[in-house]
Structure 1
Amino acid sequence: MKFSENWLRQHVPTTATRDGLAATLTAIGLEVEEVTPLGEALDGVVVARIVSAEKHPEADRLQVCQVDAGAAGMLQIVCGAPNARPGLVAPLATIGTTVGELTIKAAKLRGVESNGMLCSAKELGLDADASGLLELPGDAPLGAPLAGYLGLPDASFELKLTPNRADCFGIRGIAFDVAAACGGEVAALDAAPVPAASEATVDVRLEAGADAPRYLGRVIEGVDAARATPAWMAERLRRSGVRPVSLLVDVTQYVMLELGQPMHAYDRGLLKGPVGVRRGRAGESLKLLDGREAALDDGFLVITDADRPVGLAGLMGGHDTRVTDATRTVFLEAAHFAPAAIIGRGRRLGLHTDAGHRFERGVDPELPRTAIEYATKLVLDIAGGSPGPVTEAVLPEALPRPAKIVLRRARLARVLGVDIADAEVERILRALGLGVEATAEGWTVTAPTRRFDLAIEEDLVEEIARIHGYDAIPTTLPGGATRLVAPTEGRVPERDLRRALAGRGYLEAINYAFVDATLLARWQADEALVPLANPLSAELGVMRPRLLPGLVDALARNAARQQGRVRLFELGKVFSARAGEAPLETPRIAAVASGDALAEQWGVPARRVDFHDLKGDLEALAALSGARLEFRAAAPSWAHPGRAAEVLRDGSVVGAIAELHPRLQQALDLDHPVVAFELDLTAITARALPRAGTLSKFPSVRRDLAFIVADSVSWGELEATASAAAGPFLKALHLFDVYAGKGVETGFKSVAMGLILQDASRTLVDRDVDAVVASVTDAVAVAHGARIRG
């Protein structure tokens, strides 16, 4: 936000110096990025008129001008400005004046005397325009000091506003903060209703619901739009970074800068029917003021004339209904648009406008009436005309309403750590334009409609703190001892999981928690998604329901960069939401591997990593918590149907481990197979508290059994049956051989297991061991049709 210092001081008189004002604005959160002094040394520069201009006899680009300088009389000036012409009123630096680093003296230019210098805005330090002389209004008083005529000296302030302070995109919004911080009072605005002098109106219709809940319009007939913009208005616009265009346009810009309410002016003679606000339609287009053609759809709000688009609501008006110097009847527009209906629309068209910048952040819904009355007064004072009545269409139920906020005295003191007098609290709140009602415990505060950022008690505490001054709040070091929380033994710390995986050759990856919905569709994981309301980009539009899509994508990027052996893991949260339910966050752990099983070496033959390598890594993780994982053949949608398993703990499915399905691998452009697992983190980290026990003094006994079973019987099934049948003497059960081939009939396999038997009270005898072996043999025979291998 850029503005004129003198303009601000007109709204809030203050004795603060320029530097003091800049420091105060920054201290209260309105950061001053730049202060540009204007017209600091213009003594001797006066208003003058070129009476005649003739070509210099010795130079093609110079003119010899006779200039009327008022009391100084007629002066001869040699000038090279391209816009120098008879009748032009421009600044004249008289002899002895210093302009920049140049002191003006009487001189001869190519043999012709010159007694002064006609100046451009850049030479005077008023603007960057050096294309010609600074053109002043024709009624400017000749011979008058230029500084007095243009309201100089002045300064241009540029603020870096935070998005929540949309109210400070107008001079008066800033004035309330300055009044509160400097102890002043904001001057009343002369925006009394202008009585109608004609019956000219245009019907107004709202067809966009809560996106456009208020729209006001007024017809002014008999306007002299060709009148020049007054110097005081043009200079305030220039010092605010806006170049004057024409009177009617400049009035709307002036009102926007002063009040913060964007406006637009239409040529009434070019409007055909009722004016309305509705959603755009696919296939519609609109030629904008800057000449570009905008393709519309239902994502845009449009202003319509007899249902044809004539403006982009909140962004820019249309070319076909623009005002020109030939306009005689103008239709002024002031409206309130919901920020959500404007955000992002300009970026879609490559537009960034002052109006859009304000509407995206929020404009006071009560301001359109004030703005249209104020603009009417300016138009009538400068260009004349006959105003009709203000036409308003409004949806009261869709307008934001200020809520009452309770501010407790005790809460204020507790948060700030300092007691602020009640009178000072009330002064600050009232100076900011807030309604204040004292109560026994503090105050009930009503925020003005322009302050969208005030909604809860802490917002008011922040207002008091920034205006009272952060430097006025004493620095107090925290006291007391820090309470240390001992880590629980019932859960494996995440750092231990990270160390274990890093020790097995994995690198940790950290991916975005939001992913591309098209990537999830490839994984067939596009159900129960949590979409983002305002994503960073279309490729990051939903929260991830799994870790693996992002992790495999990272693996693919590494593989594409000539990394032959890639192992990655990630700990993070995944998100899901069912219809009508709040989103659910679940911590997960996942790992992926591709390439060689071992780093390149000479000691063992090279081979590709496979399912069993990753299964071993997963079981090593489970060992940290003492978890006993079970694996059951099952293939999720993303998995290879013959190389996949569900992972169970205590009978509950906690994840899956598998090789990627060939079709998915091809879709992801992966040249080599990828194995992966993903589990619920809580399932892998939960552990029982360790309990001490006595070690047996008696020797253990081992018995090895080899069974012939069908290929369809898994080791997990055999292990469960044997463990249950072995009884209390069983201390461990090992699988040490699986064989299929010569000597074993087709469709069967040989599975060899080792039983470790031991008792804590005595040495086991053959009778005890034989009983266990018989029990196990009978159990697996009955359950799985197994027989002892001969």
Structure 2
Amino acid sequence: MNISTSWLREWSDPKVSDIDLAEKLTMAGLEVDKIGPVAPDFEGVVVGVVVSCERHPNADKLSLCVVDIGKGSNLQIICGAPNVRKGLKVAVATVGAVLPNNFKIKKAKLRGVESFGMICSEAEIGLSDEHEGIMELDSSAPLGENLRYFLDLDENIIELDLTPNRGDCFSVLGVAREVCAIYDLALPKREYRAKVTGKRTFNSTISSPKACPKYLTRIIEGIDTAAKTPQWMAQRLLRSSQQLHSPVVDITNYVLLELGQPMHAFDLKKINGDINVRMAKDGEKIELLNEQTVALRDDTLVISDQHSAIAIAGVMGGISTATEDDSTEILLESAFFDPISISGVARSYSLYTESSLRFERGVDYELTHRAMERATELVLEICGGKASEINQCIDASSLPTIEQINITSEKISRVLGFELDPAWIESKFKSLHFDTISHGNSSWTIDPPSFRFDIRLQADLIEELVRLYGYDKVPVHNLSSTVNISSANQTQITSHDISHSLVNRG
């Protein structure tokens, strides 16, 4: 999982360097595979606008451009990109600029016409491998602004290698919780509440409550089809290794990365009747968003309308109800699927998705409403429209149950081999968002939070304490023992014992 440090610091901002933060995360069990800037070093690249664009007099595939970089006189630049055009905001490497791999920009003459700089593609400044055309910057980009500053290219990206038991950390929120626990910081309380102006309802039922105890939907109508994904969101998605799609799909992906709740958006007009969450019929077919058609097994949980399956639950939606650029009415979905019911389903159909990755490891079942409100807020802000009330199907008896865990400082010391301060122990339990009841004699009753599926035993609690204490701080003791070795009577040694001893000696 990739996460930008600037996004993370909006949630939790310890006053340490990004390198120190990465080291702390690794020592706390969230291994950082790599940390580095968004783009390699380059200098002399600024924001410009194409004032005019005409065909090169001596080359059909080249354009003769006049570019304003906000410095008074305009620059004449020859460009071969097919997407260059008048009025476009672009990244301009001026004469004297130094691009990655020490590539220096000099005044040049192309087919008899002088060129004073270069209009850059993403590949030329090391942002991606995209070289089919030049970068198209947002129309709000200020002329003459240093590109590194405008695109925040000096921020670092942390690449995390998370263990399967830490599904709660597959989000900015999850990693921020860890940072707060490590540095004794308070996690900001961010509540979302979208404005409800619509009055439409939608009916959905759950036929398999054990596999899907909670299923929420919401209608948003009046979507502006001309809306575009804002640059700040697109930038964060791309830096988290997510592709860009339509604004609605980008918003659901953004909420997945921010909060850890996979979501889906259906085109409401393409749904036939009500929705039912059920097990698939053996051999039932569905064409997925990746244009792959699969024959379903009867152990696969699906989302279906009155005619057919329209999504594999927790894995991927179907193409028949996918949102498109002209979709004006959508149905947002936010659900909790049982990890055991989802585990292995994606792989069995040769699929891998960000949703299945999280649902297999366990998604917080108390997050569904919060994520729905957050996604709705963003849709209304970016795409407009009217949101109706949330429609919910919840089988409370099928939701996960969390057992209390009793533990004492004596037990902790006996397992670790050294003592921890009881006050420190209690403070760390609370920083991990464990509901903690202190019994006053260095013993506690712990209620793990709904997002920690991996905390079920005393050993799990002790592991949490020692990783926050620091594995590198655990004292090393040389073990010593007095052992009495007595001789054995030869008559008591069997031939089997002799052969076993010889085998052990090679």
Q: TM-score range with shorter-chain normalisation? A: over 0.9
Measure the CA separation in 2 of the matches of 1:444 and 1:85. 67
Aligned to 1:157: 158
CA gap of 1:494–1:203, structure 2 versus 1, over 3 A, is farther
CA gap of 1:169–1:46, structure 2 versus 1, over 3 A, is same
1:2-42: CA deviation from partner (whole Å, max 9, x where unpaired): 11121111111112212212211111111111223124646
Aligned to 2:271: 271
CA gap of 1:493–1:36, structure 2 versus 1, over 3 A, is farther
Measure the CA separation in 1 of the matches of 2:291 and 2:305. 19
CA gap of 1:314–1:118, structure 2 versus 1, over 3 A, is same
TM-score (norm 2): 0.92
Q: Which moved more, 1:403-412 or 1:234-243?
A: 403-412
Q: Which moved more, 1:400-409 or 1:245-254?
A: 400-409
Aligned to 1:30: 30
Aligned to 1:387: 387
Say if 2:131 is the partner of 1:95.
no
3-state SS of 1:302 partner = strand
1:139-165: CA deviation from partner (whole Å, max 9, x where unpaired): 433333333332332122211111101
Say if 2:349 is the partner of 1:349.
yes
Q: Counterpart of 2:114 in structure 1: which amino acid?
A: E
Aligned to 1:751: none
Q: Counterpart of 1:361 in structure 2: which amino acid?
A: R
Aligned to 2:303: 303
Say if 2:479 is the partner of 1:478.
yes
Aligned to 2:177: 176
Measure the CA separation in 2 of the matches of 1:312 and 1:97. 51
- 8 Å Cα contact 1:197/1:387 also seen in 2: yes
CA gap of 1:13–1:73, structure 2 versus 1, over 3 A, is farther
CA gap of 1:332–1:74, structure 2 versus 1, over 3 A, is farther
Structural mapping, 1:110-129, within 5 Å? 110-129=111-130
Q: Counterpart of 1:460 in structure 2: which amino acid?
A: L
3-state SS of 1:7 partner = helix
Aligned to 1:371: 371
CA gap of 1:307–1:32, structure 2 versus 1, over 3 A, is same
Measure the CA separation in 2 of the matches of 1:396 and 1:493. 64
Aligned to 1:515: none
Aligned to 1:692: none
- State the shift of 1:262 in Å: 0.7
Say if 2:258 is the partner of 1:254.
no
Gaps of 5+ in 1: 503-790
- State the shift of 1:455 in Å: 0.8
3-state SS of 2:77 partner = strand
Structural mapping, 1:733-772, within 5 Å? none
Structural mapping, 1:356-755, within 5 Å? 356-439=356-439, 440-482=441-483
Aligned to 1:689: none
Q: Counterpart of 1:304 in structure 2: which amino acid?
A: S
- State the shift of 1:237 in Å: 0.9
CA gap of 1:185–1:99, structure 2 versus 1, over 3 A, is farther
CA gap of 1:494–1:313, structure 2 versus 1, over 3 A, is farther
- Number of residues of Structure 1 aligned to a counterpart in Structure 2: 500
Task: Determine which structure has more spread, i.e. the larger CA radius of gyration.
Answer: 1
- 8 Å Cα contact 1:276/1:307 also seen in 2: no
- 8 Å Cα contact 1:225/1:324 also seen in 2: no
Aligned to 1:228: 228
- State the shift of 1:266 in Å: 0.8
Measure the CA separation in 1 of the matches of 2:286 and 2:150. 42
CA gap of 1:491–1:97, structure 2 versus 1, over 3 A, is same
Q: Counterpart of 1:231 in structure 2: which amino acid?
A: Q
1:282-320: CA deviation from partner (whole Å, max 9, x where unpaired): 231111001111111212111112252111111111101
Q: Which has the higher contact order (CA 8 A, sep 6+)?
A: 2
1:453-494: CA deviation from partner (whole Å, max 9, x where unpaired): 111111111111001111122111223335779999999686
Measure the CA separation in 1 of the matches of 2:281 and 2:484. 62
Measure the CA separation in 2 of the matches of 1:485 and 1:229. 79
Aligned to 2:320: 320
- 8 Å Cα contact 2:165/2:454 also seen in 1: yes
Measure the CA separation in 1 of the matches of 2:485 and 2:245. 67
3-state SS of 2:320 partner = coil
Aligned to 2:109: 108
Identity %: 39
Aligned to 1:188: 189
Measure the CA separation in 1 of the matches of 2:129 and 2:486. 63
Q: Which moved more, 1:368-377 or 1:105-114?
A: 105-114
3-state SS of 1:272 partner = coil
Aligned to 1:293: 293
Aligned to 1:49: 49
- State the shift of 1:441 in Å: 3.0
Q: Counterpart of 2:78 in structure 1: which amino acid?
A: V
Q: Counterpart of 1:459 in structure 2: which amino acid?
A: D
Measure the CA separation in 2 of the matches of 1:41 and 1:372. 40
CA gap of 1:212–1:116, structure 2 versus 1, over 3 A, is same
3-state SS of 1:425 partner = helix
3-state SS of 2:148 partner = helix
- 8 Å Cα contact 1:72/1:143 also seen in 2: no
- State the shift of 1:256 in Å: 0.7
Measure the CA separation in 1 of the matches of 2:301 and 2:53. 52
1:201-228: CA deviation from partner (whole Å, max 9, x where unpaired): 2112111121111111111111124422
Aligned to 1:143: 144
Q: Counterpart of 1:241 in structure 2: which amino acid?
A: S
Measure the CA separation in 1 of the matches of 2:201 and 2:486. 72
1:402-432: CA deviation from partner (whole Å, max 9, x where unpaired): 3222221111222222322233223322222
Measure the CA separation in 2 of the matches of 1:336 and 1:219. 19
- State the shift of 1:72 in Å: 4.9
Measure the CA separation in 2 of the matches of 1:179 and 1:55. 57
3-state SS of 1:98 partner = strand
Q: Counterpart of 1:382 in structure 2: which amino acid?
A: I
- State the shift of 1:365 in Å: 1.0
- 8 Å Cα contact 2:195/2:377 also seen in 1: no
Measure the CA separation in 1 of the matches of 2:403 and 2:17. 37
3-state SS of 2:131 partner = coil
Q: Counterpart of 2:397 in structure 1: which amino acid?
A: E
Q: Counterpart of 1:315 in structure 2: which amino acid?
A: V
3-state SS of 1:96 partner = strand
3-state SS of 2:325 partner = coil
